[in-house]
Amino acid sequence: MTFKINIGTKEGKTYKIEIENSGLVGKSVGDKISGRDLGNADFSDYEFEISGASDKSGFAALKNVEDFTLKKVLLNYGKGMHKRPKREGKKKQSNPTPGGLKLRKTLHGKTISDKIVQINLKLVKEGNKKLKDIFSTEVKEEKTEEKKE
């Protein structure tokens, strides 16, 4: 099983990696994990927080939805709901986030399972080697392999 991992930094930069079958299965959104769980020796000093995930159908994993299955949840404006309902049409919006408006949406539970494809991580503690240096060397190695072929 392959996970697409997005690592977000405080500066707003996002680094993307793909990992095979890591120790992330069974963890929940909001849990703190060590870099060793990602299976890369460069991340051993790092600490991350799982900030979100999405499954193979694109349903987001929300922190307040228990279990690891799909559930229909009634949401206010915020994480998971950003649009107005379709029945409002093209009327001029007097209030973009009206109070009392709720929509029922399908979401994935907060526990990471084999159905999850993408995991979003937030950098909590940085290690000895900077992320910029780790990812720049990976890109250079891939380019040299392409030139040899």
For residue 28, being part of any structural domain is answered with yes
Say if residues 147 and 76 touch (Cβ distance below 8 Å). Answer: no
Name the DSSP class of 144.
H
Say how far apart CA 71 and CA 78 lie, in whole Å: 18
For residue 94, being part of any structural domain is answered with no
Q: Count the domains in the chain.
A: 1
Q: Is pLDDT of 63 > 80?
A: yes
For residue 74, being part of any structural domain is answered with no
Please state whether the predicted TM-score (pTM) of the whole model is above 0.85: no
Instruction: Render pLDDT for 6-52 as a digit per residue (tens, 0 to 9).
Output: 999 888 899 998 888 778 888 999 999 988 888 777 888 889 999 99
- Residue 82's pLDDT is 66
- 50-80: buried (b, 16+ CB within 10 Å) or exposed (e) per residue? bebbbbeeebbbbeebeebeeeebebebeeb
- Residue 45's pLDDT is 87
More confident position, 69 or 138: 69
- DSSP assignment of 17-45, as one string? EEEES-TTTT-BTT-EEEGGGGT-GGGTT
For residue 95, being part of any structural domain is answered with no
For residue 89, being part of any structural domain is answered with no
Q: Is pLDDT of 95 > 80?
A: no
For residue 85, being part of any structural domain is answered with no
Q: Indicate left, alpha or beta for 30 from its phi (over 0: left) and psi (-120 to 50: alpha).
A: left
- Residue 148's pLDDT is 64
Indicate the average pLDDT of the chain: 81
Q: Which domain holds residue 143?
A: 2-68+107-148
